[in-house]
Structure 1
């Protein structure tokens, strides 16, 4: 394992967060790798979005600590499961739709615009990378998006705001073929689309720098993406509150909140947010 930062002494405010002197030193090592070797790619998980008020899944206050996830097979076979699924979505989606990107999302978008990051591969379904300014074609959503509804039979897609799920207690179906519909996300037990996974793995194998942010790396096959980069020789940096299975293979392991760390990273490479239009060459 490479450099590890856990310290909290000598704190300095960075866009609403705080980093110790040791943590700043590790962010500077990441900045140097992106400057010398980039452009790189980022692999993000729920930890980058918790600062936007979106709970994670596996943490102490995560969604799975309060209720069991909807399993894909149960959704297909049990109308009552589908009823509960749609009632939960009616309650939660307005909150998700109203969520705003935080400084971490904005920092990654700035790094993309400046040429230091090429692609973001995310496990998140919240669309906050795109809201922050990352071009949609440069964001790979491994687990899909909550902002669309898809038919499992005819595979048509609708923007979420254009699809009427009906009143509480009802189960909508496809208005075209009558098939089952669900949000365009990968449910628990549902396979990640092969084309998307293979694309992400190919990007990881080719990248010189892999920045892993806010993920436990316990969900497969998504966790294979940064591991593929590590085994292809990439400089791997992990920014996460807790240990991950990839820590031993990483060049930098930083225990810090994603927002503060990424804001400082973007400030080092691109300048303060007001200077975000600065060219990389400057």
Structure 2
């Protein structure tokens, strides 16, 4: 594996030219490139991740699927934590990584047509990556489904209902931390008294986020679609992910078994480091902006809102992007 570790000046976040140029050169040989992304592409939008270098393990383990289904107390704890953490997640905006990936997809004749994300934050969609080309491997935080009747509800609508039932409770909050799925870390004693709305359709206390909990299974139709995407690619690019969950790692391993070229842009070690042909260790936002600039011929069209993302950047490589 060509393991490229750019040497960045203190305080800088721009990927070294040579590393990204080498990766771009290698990717240019392939016509059908699939992309897998993880929480690392959203950290520059202000969202936490799970496994960046130097990050301690979460102070409490995340709620598991069977725990959520089996226990009303666990569901109460989950929704109290989600109620507190959701505003941070819902107010996040796409960064250079999301916008660059969307720009790669938009380019005429683009070879980057298949995208599999482990993220539940919806920021790739906010960057205008078409949903038809995107698989949300672990679901989305922005919808709920009733386990009793199958009805759906938007998470932001449910947040309003939570707020109505828990106005007094919310005044007692102190400080907290949160996870990439909007799950805040609250003291157990604070959770008592939190009220959880029932389904508007059937009246049951059976609403569940439309995402894959730890210990849960990726729906078969989602896993199958992701498998087909990888089987059809001749190169696979992993961005901002350690691919620690088997649901993602198996796809990298499958691509390797089928002879695809494997590359990674990530800050820190990953589970698949021994499989990659090329790995660039860098903060992904500016690295992906640089890679996008190299992959697209003659610049690319201005994307609404992107000027404000680029304007504060002083590096000439980023200023060259006319997104």
Kindly report the root-mean-square deviation, in angstroms, between the aligned alpha carbons of the 2 structures: 2.3
Unaligned runs of 5+ in 1: 278-282
The one of 186, 194, 198 aligned to 2:212 = 186
Match of 2:14 among 18, 22, 38: 18
Task: Flag the structure with larger Rg.
Answer: 2
List per-residue Cα deviations over 1:174-214 (Å, max 9, x = no partner): 22222511211111111111110111011112101111011
Residues 109-158 of structure 1, C-alpha deviation per residue, up to 9 Å, x if partnerless?
00001113102100000001011110111110010000111112222222
The aligned counterpart of 2:165 is 167
Aligned pair in 2 of structure 1 residues 129, 191: CA closer, same or farther (>3 Å)?
same
Give the deviation of 1:76 after TM superposition.
Answer: 1.4
**In structure 2, what is the equivalent of residue 280 of structure 1?**
none
In structure 1, C-alpha distance between the alignment counterparts of 2:103 and 2:6, rounded to whole Å: 27
**How far did residue 54 of structure 1 move?**
0.7
Rounded to whole Å, the distance in 1 between the matches of 2:32 and 2:21 is: 16
Question: Residue deviations 1:54-93, cap 9 Å, x none?
Answer: 101234446x522220111111122111111111111111
Match for residue 221 of structure 1?
Answer: 247
Is residue 148–residue 157 contact of structure 1 (8 Å, CA) maintained in 2? Answer: yes
Task: Count the aligned residue pairs.
Answer: 269
Residue 272 of structure 1: CA displacement?
8.3
**In 2, Cα distance between equivalents of 1:43 and 1:190:** 20
SS at match of 1:117: coil
> For residues 20 and 293 of structure 2, what CA distance do their matches in structure 1 show?
11
1:83 to 70, 73, 76: 76
Deviates more, 1:266-275 or 1:218-227: 266-275
For 1:219 and 1:157, how far apart are their aligned partners in 2?
27
- Corresponding residue number in structure 1 for 2:141: 146
Deviation sequence 1:12-34 (CA, Å, 0-9, x none): x9xx83123xxx32322332343
Normalized against structure 1, the TM-score is what?
0.88
Q: Would the aligned equivalents of 1:4 and 1:26 in 2 still touch at CA under 8 Å?
A: no
> Contact 2:140–2:209 (CA<8 Å) still a contact in 1?
yes
Structure 1 residue runs of 4+, over 3 Å off?
58-62, 271-277
Structure 2 vs 1, CA of residues 92 and 272 (structure 1 numbering), >3 Å: closer, same or farther?
farther
On the 8 A contact 1:58/1:65 being kept in 2, the answer is no
**How far apart are the structure 1 equivalents of 2:23 and 2:7?**
19
Q: Secondary structure at the match of 1:226?
A: helix
